Amino acid sequence: MANKRITDLTETPVASGSFFYLVYDPTETKDRNADGYIDYNKRVKYVNICSQTSQSAITWFGTGANGALNTTASINFTSTADGDAVVRNYTSLTLNAGHTMTVTNRCRGLLIYVAGDCTINGTVNMSSKGAKATGSFAHYVYQAKNFYGNFIPQYQFKSVKLYGSGSGGGAASTNGRSVGEGYTGGGGGGYTGNSGSAGTSWSGGSGGGAGPSATGGRAYGGTGGAASTANFGGGAGNLGGAAGPGGISGGTGTGGVIIFVVKGTFTLGNTGRILANGAAGGGGSAGGGGGSGGGRIVILYSQGYINNGGTIEASGGVGGGTAPLKGGDGGAGSITIKEIGVY
């Protein structure tokens, strides 16, 4: 029997806003991801309501092309600013204590396939690494094995989703929104200033600038709002928003995306951390800018999940300044931890 499959982050609709659904296609032979794998038993594809095939790539638990990794130092994967997700394919992975795994430039995520076991004792960090890019609805599809009665197996397609539009930004002086699983967090609003922006599939929202004449956080994980009045802070974003004279600019970055797809057991040690947090808003004696929103973390495992006291966070960045002149915090992103099994 074949392994369960998950689409990768290259999925894009043929027509914007189209609704896609899975269909069985006995003639399907394309290796859409050019990874060498086609499922000849369960040939499936996405089509939309106009019967157009999506560009979704159906994959396995990775190709294992990057071999076994047991780290001896921190790893900083090369990434293109605001470009595609970094994708790694390991046969097994151990990130040792004191080591960090991240990317060089903000991008559309870090997607790690592991064909065996995965142990995280170090830090996987996509905090402030969210991409400045238009959101796109992405599916992480797997084929679930259920049973009819006690013995007869039946298979259903299920999915973990990453929504194109994240949670909404907060109005002046309020926190960014956090609406639940599948969504990144919205940016916080600047103190008596302008609102934060909504998150996207690739990024938490940017924070708004503080004070009169401030600008709001730019859409699609863009620049944080600027504060043009003295002693007000800027909002966090890509880049951080400028402060007024005497204030502090917003932090640079928005919460990013981390996805693990593990065929074996996923173990998070007590020194392990998986982080996709937003950045802090800038402070000022007259009021602070909004923090940026938290990102999205997905951990899909097949044979087991063990957390020995490690940390998993997709928190929004703290608003700049101190109460009662504080900017709004960025909204929290969302975390999914799900068993998908092997059949």
Is 143 strand, coil or helix?
strand
- The count of other CB atoms within 10 Å of the CB of residue 325 is 21
Per-residue CA distances from 102 to 88, 126, 327 (Å): 12, 6, 28
Let me know: does 293 contact 149? Beta carbons within 8 Å.
Answer: no
Report d(CA 83, CA 268) in Å as an integer.
Answer: 29
- The answer for residues whose C-beta is within 8 angstroms of residue 154's C-beta and 6 or more apart is 145, 146, 147, 148
Structure tokens at 110: 């870090």
User: Can you say whether residue 36 is alpha, beta or left, with left for phi > 0 and alpha for psi between -120 and 50 degrees?
Assistant: left
Mean pLDDT to the nearest integer, 284-295? 97
Residue predicted with more confidence, 62 or 149: 62
**pLDDT over 90 percentage in the chain:** 64
Report d(CA 32, CA 205) in Å as an integer.
Answer: 32
Mean pLDDT to the nearest integer, 296-308? 93
Q: Where are the domains of the chain?
A: 62-134+164-343
pTM to 2 decimal places = 0.84
Average pLDDT score over the chain: 83
Per-residue CA distances from 291 to 27, 182, 203, 204, 280 (Å): 50, 20, 13, 10, 5
Amino acid (one-letter) located at 142 = Y
Inform me whether the pLDDT recorded for 52 exceeds 50: no
What per-residue confidence (pLDDT) applies to 87? 86
Let me know: does 60 contact 77? Beta carbons within 8 Å.
Answer: no
Chain segment 221-261, per-residue pLDDT in tens: 999 999 989 999 999 999 999 999 999 999 999 999 999 98
Report d(CA 174, CA 262) in Å as an integer.
Answer: 38
